[in-house]
Amino acid sequence: MGNISGVAYDAVKMAVEHVLSKIREGKKLSAEDILILYLGTIVGDLKEIRADIARLDDKVDKTNQRIDDIAKTLSARIDDVVKSLSARIDETNRRIDETNKRIDDLAKSLTAQIGEVNKRIDAVQITLLEVQKLLIELVKTRQQ
The domain tally of the chain equals 1
The pLDDT value given to residue 142? 86
Residues 6+ apart with CB under 8 A from 23: 29
What is the domain range of residue 9?
Answer: 2-143
Residues of the chain with pLDDT under 50: 1
pLDDT of residue 9: 81
Residue (of 50, 29, 25) closest to 38 by Cα position: 29
Cβ proximity of 9 and 43 under 8 Å: yes
| pTM for the predicted model, two decimal places | 0.51
Predicted pLDDT of residue 1:
46
For the segment 53-71, what is each residue's pLDDT rounded down to a tens digit?
999 999 999 999 999 999 9
Secondary structure of residue 1 in the 3-state scheme: coil
DSSP string, 56-92: HHHHHHHHHHHHHHHHHHHHHHHHHHHHHHHHHHHHH
**What's the pLDDT at 93?**
98
